[in-house]
Amino acid sequence: MKALIIDDSRAMRSILRRILGDAGFETHEAEDGQVALDLMNGGLAPDVCLIDWNMPVMDGYTFVTNVRDNQDWRDVTLMMVTTESDSNRIVRALAAGAHEYVIKPFTPDAILDKLQLLGLFTEVPA
């Protein structure tokens, strides 16, 4: 499974990279929505994108609408990971085509539980 982490914070990308890497994902990173779109236009085909909302250049909401406007990317799962917890923002993101919404701060289990719900991760019993 390939995951594209889209967040302007290197710290947050590092944390998500660790969580996803430990779960067996191949991770890729972008510092804003435009860089993420450029990567995908360049051939990167992520199974899931983890997307911050507030970023310079292109925010996460605009990225979601761009991805959903492109039929080639209809199978990409989109998961918002953001501090934006207003209900109207959550509704907007889901209406635009995001599948899941995680509010920062989060625990590794919260991320993995969402990925499991989306069928992208299966926890191996210890």
Q: Are 9 and 29 contacting, i.e. CB atoms less than 8 angstroms apart?
A: no
Choice between 40 and 79, CB closer to another protein: 79
In the complex, minimum distance from the CB of residue 19 to another protein, in angstroms, rounded to a whole number: 11
CB nearer another protein, residue 28 or residue 104: 104
Nearest to another protein of 25, 73 (CB atom): 25
Residues that bind another protein in the complex, under the rule CB under 8 A: 8-12, 14-15, 18, 54-56, 82-86, 88, 104-107
Report the nearest approach of another protein to the CB of residue 110 (Å): 9
Q: In terms of CB distance, is 11 or 124 closer to another protein?
A: 11
Least CB distance to another protein at residue 94 (A): 17
CB 70 within 8 A of CB 52: no
